[in-house]
A = this chain, B = another copy of it.
């Protein structure tokens, strides 16, 4: 699975290099290019020093990258030097783009009305950002900085701004330019699909793939990545048109073997599935150890107010009794972390939110509070419909406090899916 067209990404910014902020551009651009069939070979993060950026361009050039994409360093301040360095690297002079100057001026006038800006500083910044390497294509600004497409011999350099909210909307314009299109036309687009499974270890997938391969499917014709992401197994299969049958055979082979664990064959996330299944319902939550993480995940989806009545984060025993009507004797007898209390919390949530579906979670997130009988990671779940149907589970979730909390919310999501879709439970 090797592509003819290779790309390198250069991310500039001292904050990214020093680890103060995470690089959100490199991975994003990499994904976009992969979808276009381009093989990304390197992502290089450099600071704001001109010498290091030059070295980065030089490296990408020497490595024969057909496409070099840079992010950052297009701002109005003196240490924003990417455009100049790219110009020098490609042997081009900087020249004022008057049309662009006017466009930026119009944008700045909009800002100036709202803020109290120093006029002289604005004019200088405006002029600087309108300087474009001769022969380059300037891309209209999303913020105030134009992007650039700079032909460089056999290569093309795409220069994009650093803030993701500016870079991402500019991407379609960049790949629509003639020089970039010419490069992309040489790439063979990759097809692909993503399978998502829950409650299955990576070794089982590896075993199944060995079986599928032994059964005569030429696995080397497709690119399969399995990745444990936030508690779910994600299996990503990429292939070129010629290997479509192989890719289908893999999809079928994995589907047959892991029907109960496979919950998404079209890339749809568990969050989107649960949101879809909840349409027309009324959800209530009762959380303890997950501390609101399940509610936060449910309300992360726009429009959640249509089906989410609310949740109780019943961290103390008092709150469990007072708000969810859990009998204090039950807590005394079985402990706050017990299937009995989980059930009572769920029944209480059905009532107090007048809900028709609920999930309750009570567990030991750690680091303290575990015992021999109920170790850290022991979590009791109860998912329940108003008609009385229910699923109860009490796994011991491995990992530290954060893992236990996040995984608890995830198990809650999957119990909702299973409850609402009538699927078979994998656990």
- Chain A residues at the B interface, C-beta cutoff of 8 Å: 14-23, 26-28, 30-31, 34, 40-47, 49, 52, 55-56, 59, 63, 225, 227, 229, 234, 236, 285, 287, 290-296, 298-300, 302-305, 308-316, 318-319, 322-323, 352-354, 365-369, 401-402, 405
List, in ascending order, chain B residues with CB within 8 A of A298's CB: 291
List, in ascending order, chain B residues with CB within 8 A of A295's CB: 291-292, 295-296, 313
List, in ascending order, chain B residues with CB within 8 A of A40's CB: 17-18, 47
- Would you list the 7 A-B pairs with minimal beta carbon distance, nearest first? A291-B299, A19-B27, A292-B295, A292-B292, A310-B319, A311-B313, A43-B45
Q: Are B14 and A225 interface neighbours, CB within 8 A?
A: yes
Cross-chain pairs A/B with CB under 8 angstroms, 25 sampled: A17-B41, A17-B42, A18-B40, A19-B26, A19-B31, A19-B34, A23-B27, A40-B47, A41-B52, A42-B52, A42-B55, A43-B44, A44-B44, A44-B45, A59-B59, A291-B304, A292-B299, A296-B405, A300-B402, A302-B367, A303-B368, A310-B315, A310-B318, A319-B352, A322-B353
Q: Are A313 and B291 interface neighbours, CB within 8 A?
A: no
Q: How far is the CB of A71 from chain B (nearest CB, A)?
A: 13
CB closest residue in chain B, given A25: B19
Q: How far is the CB of A23 from chain B (nearest CB, A)?
A: 7
Q: Are B45 and A42 interface neighbours, CB within 8 A?
A: yes
Q: How far is the CB of A375 from chain B (nearest CB, A)?
A: 15
List, in ascending order, chain B residues with CB within 8 A of A310's CB: 312-316, 318-319, 323
List, in ascending order, chain B residues with CB within 8 A of A309's CB: 315-316, 318-319
Q: How far is the CB of A370 from chain B (nearest CB, A)?
A: 12
Are A227 and B27 also in contact (CB < 8 A) when A44-B42, A292-B299, A313-B295 are?
no
Q: Are B47 and A41 interface neighbours, CB within 8 A?
A: yes
Which of the residues B49, B59, B63, B312 comes within 8 Å of A312, measured between beta carbons? B312
CB closest residue in chain B, given A234: B20
Q: Are A20 and B236 interface neighbours, CB within 8 A?
A: yes
Q: Are A304 and B315 interface neighbours, CB within 8 A?
A: yes
Q: Are A30 and B41 interface neighbours, CB within 8 A?
A: no
Q: Are A322 and B352 interface neighbours, CB within 8 A?
A: yes
